[in-house]
Amino acid sequence: MLSDTEFDRITEEIFRFHTKRAPGIPIAVAMVDLARERLGPVKGRLNVIAESQACLSDVVQVMTGCTIGNRYLKILKDLGRYALTMFDRDTGIGVRVFVDFRKIDPVKTPELHKFFLRERGEAVERGGEAREASGRLIMVEFASIHRDLFGTQRVRVLQVGKPAMLPARVCPSCHESYLQRDDQHGQCDVCSGLSRYFEPFEG
């Protein structure tokens, strides 16, 4: 378990990496620390599945070295649960740590309660001082309960290992290489219109 000094140092480091003092950062630091403690040493490669794309994924990358780029971190961005599973890729055996909403008292920790329900109000959503004040309060409330916020499960991950890399082909339209899913995938997704996210602009 991280000491208070180590916890504060790592949290500050991740605030800088994340570029914001988001209240989800210290919560995620405690989650990763708890998962590492419960999992113990692994024989194979450490992998992580994050069930949220928010602050949690940045904390995982800094604290574990499991990143999107090395593909040791998988993000289930549309699931939206503040949870992670840390596991040994050779065996699939791991530990899942999650925010257990039953442990958030709306009277004792009201801002934390609203945070996880996304009910902090329009002023907070607009940002500025209201959002910063809410974030500070959430961190104070979290510090009062810390690990008591979480639930843990021993789990076996069903699909382990890195997904196979698709073969690269050159798109006949844009002449850039792309990953070809199958023989019918004859153009990159931008040129075919499946994933167009920009248009030419002369300005």
**In whole angstroms, what is the distance from residue 31 CA to residue 97 CA?**
6
Share of the chain above pLDDT 70, in %: 100
Q: What is the DSSP string of 66-121?
A: --TTTT-EEE-TTT--SEEEEEETTT-EEEEEEE-GGG--TTTSHHHHHHHHT-S-
Which is more confidently placed, 116 or 197?
116
Give the DSSP H/E element, type plus range, for residue 35.
helix 24-39
Rounded CA separation 74/79 (Å): 12
Mean pLDDT of the chain: 94
Please tell me the distance from the alpha carbon of residue 82 to that of residue 50, in angstroms, as a whole number.
8
Range among 51-55, 149-153, 157-161, 165-169 rated most confident: 149-153
> In Å, how far are 24, 76, 164 from 106, measured between CA atoms?
18, 28, 45
Q: Which fold has domain 166-203?
A: Wheat Germ Agglutinin (Isolectin 2); domain 1 (3.30.60)
Residue 143 CA to its chain's centroid (Å): 20
Flag whether pLDDT at 198 surpasses 90. no
Domain residues of the chain, as ranges? 4-156, 166-203
pLDDT surpasses 80 at 162: no
pLDDT in tens, 62-102: 999 999 999 999 999 889 999 999 999 999 999 999 999 99
In this prediction, residues 9-24 reach a mean pLDDT of 97
pLDDT, mean of residues 109-115: 97
pLDDT at 159: 83
pLDDT at 94: 96
Task: Please check the confidence at residue 165 and state whether its pLDDT lies above 90.
Answer: no
Q: Phi, psi (5° rounding) for residue 68?
A: -65, -40
First vs last Cα of the chain: how many Å apart?
A: 54
Could you give the C-alpha distances from 161 to 46, 146, 164, 179, in angstroms and in order? 11, 32, 9, 19
Q: Please tell me the CATH code under which domain 4-156 is placed.
A: 3.30.1330.130
Q: How much of the chain is in helix, strand and coil states, percent to nearest 5?
A: 40, 15, 45
To 5 degrees, how large is the angle CA 176–CA 182–CA 183? 85
pLDDT at site 77: 85
H/E element, 46: strand 46-50
